[in-house]
Amino acid sequence: MVKFQGDKMTIKDKYLKILSCLVILLLGMSLVPAASANSDPSTIPSLPNVFGGNLKGDAANAGSGLVISAYIDSKLVGSNTLDGNGRYLVTVDGTKEDNGKAITFKLAGVPSEPVSVTYKHGAEPVEIDLTFNGDFEPPTIESLSAFPLYILNDGKDFSTVRARVVGRPSGAPSVTIDLNGIDQGVVSLKPESGGLYSYDIKSTKTGKFKFSFMAANPSGSSVTDKESISISILSEGELENEFGNADGVFSPEEITNIVSNNDVSSGIKYAALGIYFADGWDRI
């Protein structure tokens, strides 16, 4: 019989209640492994296999952007994009029904040379080299530049990006430049004869920008240049600080330097001359 003192439970009763709760908790924990052991094996999720290794054959020089895929019974069970370091890594997500079945690999849709690989539920990562033969090499960027390096932010002044890109026998390369830094997205350069490409960069934003340039062949293998295209876009109010002395006023020598500087656009030169002569022709 439970005893109370007034409306309060005694210390003995409190300890009995705590002890009962602990017994129930321990019994519940002991039943969990048993329930798991007796559960339906089909409810246990499959564990993926991870494969990695060197790329051989024509794929040894593959650029970034190519997709390597894994298949079981013609069903896609994994894919990943190469980063151009001569290696691959792909995770194969099979099911328990796939245990023991052969895995085939494709690079940009081209099957690898035959390999003996099967799916094994929960297996350790496998190191295996794969050989692919095909047109996997990226295009070659023979030249890349932007001129002039300083332009005005009036949306009319421009710097011209010029590139010479040599493609592969599979077809003409796709040549793009990432202008997200000036809110213009990724744009394609205009193809010209002899493997030349060009694009005029204009903007109303200001700042110093580096733009990423990429060339890709039809298979998807690509090469990227993130350093060669660097442009400064200036407002008229920034010209004296950029090209003048600390006094904030152009001197005749500084104007001469701007006018003769081939890295400066004609838009900036006219704007600087306008600032210089703003106080009247007595400056002449």
Output the 3-class SS for 139-203: CEEEEEEEECCEEECCCCCCEEEEEEEECECCECCEEEEECHHHCCCEEECEECHHHEEEEEECC
Residue 8's identity, in one-letter code, is K
pTM for the model: 0.69
Cβ pair 133, 58 in contact under 8 A: yes
List Cβ neighbours of 36 (8 Å cut-off, separation of 6 or more).
Answer: none
φ, ψ dihedrals at 72, nearest 5°: -130, 120
Give the C-alpha separation, 13 to 28, whole Å.
23
Which of 216, 201, 279, 271 has the alpha carbon at shortest distance from 240? 271
138-234 sits in which CATH class?
mainly beta
**148-174 residue pLDDT tens:** 999 999 999 999 999 999 988 778 899
Give the C-alpha separation, 193 to 3, whole Å.
102
What pLDDT is stored for residue 235 in this prediction? Answer: 96
**16-38 residue pLDDT tens:** 455 455 544 454 544 444 444 44
Cβ pair 132, 112 in contact under 8 A: yes
The separation between the first and the last C-alpha atoms of the chain, rounded to the nearest angstrom, is: 114
49-132 sits in which CATH class?
mainly beta
| Region 192-211 average pLDDT | 96
Cβ pair 103, 73 in contact under 8 A: no
Give the C-alpha separation, 139 to 169, whole Å.
10
Please name the residue that has the structure tokens 């600080």.
241
Task: Express as a percent the part of the chain with pLDDT over 90.
Answer: 64
pLDDT bucket at 251, cuts 50 / 70 / 90: confident
Which of 197, 141, 133, 137 has the alpha carbon at shortest distance from 169? 137
Which segments of the chain belong to CATH 2.60.40.10? 138-234
| DSSP state letter for 64 | B
